[in-house]
Amino acid sequence: MGKKSSSSSSSSSVLLSNSKNKNGWIRSNRLVLLIVGFVSLTCFLLDRQSLARDHQVEVSMLNEELAELRSQLEDLRTQLKGSGIEFPINDKKRKMEEDDPISFERREKVKEAMLHAWTCYEKYAWGHDELQPQTRNGVDSFGGLGATLIDSLDTLFIMGLHEEFQRAREWVANSLDFNKNYEASVFETTIRVVGGLLSAYDLSGDKIFLEKARDIADRLLPAWNTPSGIPYNTINLAHGNPHNPRWTGGSSILADSATEQLEFIALSQRTKDPKYQQRVENVIKELHKNFPADGLLPIYINPHTGMSSYSVITFGAMGDSFYEYLLKVWMQGNKTEAVKLYREMWETSMKGFQSLVHRTTPSSFAYIREKNGNQMSNKMDELACFSPGMLALGSFGYDTGEASKMLSLAEELAWTCYNFYQSTPTKLAGENYFFHDGRDMSVGTSWNILRPETVESLFYLWRLTGNKTYQEWGWNIFQAFERNSRIETGYVGLKDVNTGVKDNMMQSFFLAETLKYLYLLFSPSSVISLDEWVFNTEAHPLRIVTRDENIQFDRKQDLPTRFRGRKEGRSGYN
Ligand code: DMJ
């Protein structure tokens, strides 16, 4: 047992020592593992740390680069803002801003309509003034100045149709020729061509548009060489020789003579040549001399005396845009002291305007009468439907009580104009309306030539009140144009809104105005903001820049030559 026990004790001591060795081995192994683990963890952590450091360096370098790029972008924006150039409107940004998917969809539909009108013009009437869609040819109703093309430039740009805009720009640069033996209307050429080119310049910053605007304005300028400064309304573009059309009996027309201010002032501001501004501001000063207490001027003026001749007073054809420009020149001039006279004259005219407003029975539609001497006529042109927009725009210059009165009159009149459309079988408005006791209104001249005035007013009312009803009305009018006026080869007017019989003319103002105002009606208000832009009467937005009465004109170029060095020749202003 003892042996057994001694042997068992020695074997157990062997076992013990074996197990001790084993434990020691295990322990030392663990220690090695621990050391290896520790070392690897340390290495790993050190590696992570250095990676993190590298990333940090990279991130801060990228941040620096980003900050640098941001500041470069800001600099560029500021420079471009000063020079009148704007970044092309970014569709992606526009989509992000847009909170109303219905407006987005409608805007796209209007853009598609513009593309259709433009594509047909390009195909059948390229370079001509207007497209005759039914006969698929172009006509030169304005002397062959590419009126539709120029009228469309800013619409294409605003809608982001840049390839189309570029093609039009190339035509302006290479083919537009003003040297035409043609008796042009000073008014139509100014609002469409000078206005269209200046707007394209303000939007794109491309100098070619400014050069061309100056060229055509220089050809128009002799029209203001009259004893009173009230211009003749027609001039030969190649030879000068201004005169008035025979059918006015020698008179100048009010709207034709006093709707050049926005364009010519803008031209002076951009060229730093005061002569354009001087000519057109003289007209207003002249009209101010005999301005009546109610601010309403008859449509005919004698260009020799500056006095009005006996004729109709109207906010429709031949009167309309004179009143529009009184307000808009005040806005273009930043509502400053220098343009106070314009606002005062406009407010005076708005008193007279209210005296023309009457209401129908039984439905109490407000409408604007015409006046001949002491006689009131219960007739209103669709053309006068620009006035709700004008009233809404001008209402913000009054104190609160008067402002809300003017705005609500604007809303009432817009309702009437919308009913010009809604009351016909085609849902398109006729050219003018008559009003009768007990029977509200009826169409007079029943054609529709794709005019913009009602949608123009809906655009202003939507922008200024935020009331979506105006978008709904505009959409209904757009759909009526789509149903009645769209054909495979463009858009046409209607000879009669009762029967829907079509004419053969796509008016250039359909692309300049009707489609532009509709597009803007469904766009965020930052697109051509009313704080930064003023629309001319052909819907060409002109950028509002600081009106500086002491503009530092290039003295060398603009001073009468008697003030110049002798060697420089020529005498006096041209
Ligand atoms: C456009 O040429 C202008 O809006 C102008 O002031 C009036 N007539 C047409 C559109 O109807």
The crossing angle, in degrees rounded to 10, of helices 162-174 and 101-125 is 30
Decide if pLDDT at 518 tops 60. Answer: yes
Res 308: pLDDT? 97
Domain final residue, candidates 359, 389, 424: 359
Query: 325 and 414 share a domain?
Result: no
Res 535: pLDDT? 99
Q: Which two tokens stand for residue 370?
A: 């015409």
Ligand 1 site, CB within 6 A = 191, 321, 383, 451-452, 509, 513, 537-538
Q: How many Å apart are CA 273 and CA 556, to the nearest integer?
A: 11
Query: 268 and 386 share a domain?
Result: no
Distance between Cα 78 and ligand 1 center (Å):
35
CATH label of the domain that carries residue 240: 1.50.10.10
Task: Assess whether 431 carries a catalytic annotation.
Answer: yes
Res 500: pLDDT? 98
Q: How many Å apart are CA 522 and CA 76, to the nearest integer?
A: 30
Residue 118 inside a domain? The answer is yes
Residue 321 inside a domain? The answer is yes
Residue 50 inside a domain? The answer is no
Q: How many Å apart are CA 287 and CA 473, to the nearest integer?
A: 37
Query: 404 and 355 share a domain?
Result: no
Domain final residue, candidates 359, 375, 395: 359
| pLDDT: which is higher, 95 or 519 | 519
Task: Assess whether 496 carries a catalytic annotation.
Answer: no
Q: 12-16, 94-98, 415-419: lowest mean pLDDT where?
A: 12-16
Nearest CA to ligand 1 atom 8: 383
Residue 233 inside a domain? The answer is yes
Residue 478 inside a domain? The answer is yes
Query: 322 and 404 share a domain?
Result: no
Query: 290 and 434 share a domain?
Result: no
Query: 353 and 420 share a domain?
Result: no
Domain final residue, candidates 303, 324, 359: 359
Query: 226 and 246 share a domain?
Result: yes
Contact residues for 206 (Cβ-Cβ < 8 A; gap 6+): 169, 200
Q: How many domains would you assign to the chain?
A: 2
Query: 438 and 331 share a domain?
Result: no
Query: 323 and 434 share a domain?
Result: no
Among 320, 370, 382, 411, the active-site one is 320
Average pLDDT over residues 241-262: 97
pLDDT in tens, 292-305: 999 999 999 999 99
Which residue do the tokens 């103002």 mark?
509
Distance between Cα 499 and ligand 1 center (Å):
25
Res 38: pLDDT? 60
Decide if pLDDT at 528 tops 70. Answer: yes
Query: 293 and 408 share a domain?
Result: no
Distance between Cα 258 and ligand 1 center (Å):
14
Nearest CA to ligand 1 atom 6: 537
Residue 550 inside a domain? The answer is no
Nearest CA to ligand 1 atom 2: 538
Burial class (CB in 10 A: 0-12, 13-18, 19+), 45: exposed
Distance between Cα 191 and ligand 1 center (Å):
9
Type of residue numbered 215: D
Decide if pLDDT at 77 tops 50. Answer: no
**DSSP label at 243?**
E
Distance between Cα 187 and ligand 1 center (Å):
10
Residue 342 inside a domain? The answer is yes
pLDDT in tens, 132-177: 999 999 999 999 999 999 999 999 999 999 999 999 999 999 999 9
Among 129, 154, 188, 382, the active-site one is 188
Task: Assess whether 538 carries a catalytic annotation.
Answer: no
Domain that holds residue 252: 178-359
**DSSP state letters, 208-235:** HHHHHHHHHHHHHGGGG-SSSSPPPSEE
Query: 339 and 379 share a domain?
Result: no
Average pLDDT over residues 187-199: 99
pLDDT in tens, 345-357: 999 999 999 999 9
Query: 291 and 382 share a domain?
Result: no
Task: Assess whether 453 carries a catalytic annotation.
Answer: yes
Res 240: pLDDT? 98
Give pTM, 2 decimals: 0.81
Closest of 389, 418, 474, 468 to residue 109, by C-alpha: 474
Residue 556 inside a domain? The answer is no
